[in-house]
Amino acid sequence: MSKTAIIIPARYGSSRLEGKPLIEVKGKPIIRWVYEKAKQTKLADMIIVATDDRRIYDAVCEFGGVCEMTSNQHKCGSDRIREVVDRHPEISYVVNLQGDEPMITPESIDSVIENVKFDANADISTLIRVLHDEAEINNPNLVKCVIDVNGYALYFSRSKIPFERNLDVAVFYGHLGIYGYKREALIKMTALKQTPLELTESLEQLRALETGMKIKTSIVDFVPVGIDTLEDLERFKKTVL
C-alpha cells in the first residue's frame, strides 16, 4: 500500500548548539514541537524520527512518538532518511522535515506533499518565501532560489539572484530547507556522486538540478524559526512563552 511519510532526521551533536533536539521549551523538547506539527498535517500517513542517538530515541518514545535508530556514519539528513525508507517498501512519498524547525506550519508541510504526490513532473518539492529585507537578500547563509513560470526551481544560490538590472520587476525568493521526494527520486539522489555546482555552493539540492531532476516549489508567507544557536533558541522561546 502506497504511503506518505514525514521523516525527521535528528542528531545530538551540533557544533553550535549541542543536544538541541532535547532542549526543552515550555516543558517539551524541541523534537516534540516539530513532531506535533507533523502530526497536524492532513496528508501524511506516517511520522518517524530518524536518529543515531539513544537519548533522542528514548525522548521520542517517551512522548509517544515513533523513532528509528540509524547509522552514525551518515553525512547528511537525506542519507539518514534513505536508510529508513529502505526498511519501508510501503513508503512512496517522503518529506524530509528538519528537526530544528518547530515553527513550521502543518499547511506548508501538506503543500510540500501535494506538489510531489500529485504533480507527475515533480521529482522533489520544497518551499520558498518572498524576501524584502536587503540584509536577507545579501546573506550567504540564506539560500536564494529562482523559479520558472510554472514554479519549478531553476537554480539555488548563496549569492543574490537574480541580478536586478530592472528594479521594478525583481523578485527575490528565500529557500526553506524542507523537501518532499518521490521514493525513486530519493533513492536516485542519495546514490549520485556530488556534482560540481553542489560542491561549489555547498547546496545538496543542486545535485538534483544538475542531473536533470525537477524541483517544484510553493511560496509561503511565514518566516521560519530555525534553531541553530542560543540566539535562535531565545527567539523561539519569545514566540511561545
Q: What gap in Å lies between CA 122 and CA 102, rounded to an integer?
A: 26
Kindly report, residue by residue over 143-196, the tens digit of the pLDDT: 999 999 999 999 999 999 999 888 788 899 999 989 999 999 999 999 999 999
Question: pLDDT under 70 in the chain at which residues?
Answer: 15
Strand partners, 130: 173
Q: What is the pLDDT of residue 172?
A: 97
Question: Residue holding cell 561549489?
Answer: 200
Residue 131's closest CA among 149, 145, 147? 145
Q: What is the pLDDT of residue 15?
A: 64
Cβ atoms within 10 A of the Cβ of 45, count?
Answer: 15
Model pTM score: 0.93
Q: What is the pLDDT of residue 231?
A: 87
Q: Which three three-digit cell numbers place residue 5?
A: 511519510
Assign 3-state DSSP to the chain and report helix, strand, coil percentages, each to 5: 35, 25, 40
Give the fold, CATH level 3, of 1-104.
Answer: Spore Coat Polysaccharide Biosynthesis Protein SpsA; Chain A (3.90.550)
Q: What is the pLDDT of residue 239?
A: 84
Q: What gap in Å lies between CA 190 and CA 185, rounded to an integer?
A: 9
